[in-house]
């Protein structure tokens, strides 16, 4: 069963076995089943990331072998980018056009903002070449691949950083970085304003201190007047000695009373 936004309800958890008698039981990645339309299974983020990495690596390797066997090249048009992610890792991705490149960077930054990272991505390099170049870099730096979080992420190893900085941002692509930074700044400003508007009011009640040199105000009388306290000799409408024996009342505790 799903709710209005497509998220599962009803207690589904990750079904990957971690021992002969125990399943993972982790929370579903984004609250949804993972996999193709007719073969979706409940997976946590870590196991979804591992499955995604395996599937993409297998598919690309198979595609490269088939192209090599047929004598074809896979140099598709587009650009391969290398960016710093807000979590400190590196992503190697591809885009078919300049417009898609900027939009892709914004979407990645928004995704991390939903996870609690408010800084956007930082582009390091834009390299000519589409999916083929991306696949080549993925295979070259496969030992740095991280599989504990969904998405194609790599550790920020010096070798990978040096390679990215060697290419850098071409002069004819610097305007894309500026366009992304401006768009992200506007989006970030709108998000912060929305957080301020919808943030719950956290007001503390403090006593009124008054201004300096201000005379203290007279306290207001309470709505219900306090009942007067009866004197000791008239408690319960009589004397405190009413309950004593008669002879004790006449003589008293320390002897007979003197007449006046």
Q: How far is 60 from 133, CA to CA, in rounded Å?
A: 11
> Under 8 Å CB-to-CB from 118, ≥6 apart: which residues?
86, 188
- Among 17, 18, 40, which residue's Cα sits nearest to residue 29? 40
Token pair, residue 16, equals: 């990957």
The residue among 183 and 239 whose pLDDT is bigger is 183
Q: What angle do CA 232, 233, 234 make, to 5 degrees?
A: 95
pLDDT tens for each residue of 85-117? 999 999 999 888 888 899 999 999 998 888 888
pLDDT tens for each residue of 166-183? 999 999 999 999 999 999
pLDDT tens for each residue of 245-256? 555 444 555 555
pLDDT tens for each residue of 109-149? 998 888 888 888 999 999 998 888 888 898 899 899 887 66
pLDDT tens for each residue of 183-211? 999 887 887 777 665 555 444 444 444 44
pLDDT of residue 4: 45
Neighbours of 124 (CB within 10 A): 20
* Residues pairing with 154 in the sheet: 90, 145
**Phi, psi (deg, nearest 5) at residue 203:** -100, 135
Whether the predicted pLDDT of 59 surpasses 90: no
Q: Under a CB-based contact definition with an 8 Å cutoff, are residues 27 and 33 in contact?
A: no
Whether the predicted pLDDT of 5 surpasses 50: no
């Amino acid at each position: 069963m799903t709710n209005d936004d497509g998220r599962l309800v009803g207690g589904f958890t990750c079904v990957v076995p971690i021992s002969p008698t125990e399943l993972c039981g982790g929370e579903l990645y984004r609250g949804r089943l993972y996999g193709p339309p007719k073969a979706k299974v409940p997976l946590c983020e870590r196991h979804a990331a591992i499955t995604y990495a395996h599937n993409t690596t297998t598919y690309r390797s198979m595609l490269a072998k088939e192209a090599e066997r047929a004598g074809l090249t896979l140099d598709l048009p587009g650009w391969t980018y290398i960016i710093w992610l807000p979590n400190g890792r590196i992503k190697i991705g591809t885009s078919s056009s300049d417009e898609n490149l900027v939009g892709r960077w914004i979407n990645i930054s928004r995704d991390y903002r939903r996870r609690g990272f408010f800084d956007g991505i930082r582009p390091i390099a834009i390299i000519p070449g589409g999916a083929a170049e991306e696949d080549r870099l993925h295979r070259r730096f496969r030992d740095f691949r991280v599989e504990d979080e969904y998405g194609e992420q790599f550790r920020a190893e010096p070798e990978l950083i040096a390679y990215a900085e060697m290419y850098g941002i071409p002069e004819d692509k610097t305007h894309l970085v500026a366009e992304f930074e401006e768009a992200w700044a506007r989006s970030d400003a709108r998000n912060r304003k929305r957080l301020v508007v919808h943030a719950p009011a956290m007001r503390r009640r403090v006593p009124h201190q008054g201004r300096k040199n201000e005379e203290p105000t007279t306290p207001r009388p309470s709505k219900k007047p306090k009942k007067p306290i009866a004197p000791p000799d008239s408690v319960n409408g009589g004397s405190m000695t009413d309950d004593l024996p008669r002879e004790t009342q006449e003589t008293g505790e320390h002897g007979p009373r003197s007449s006046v």
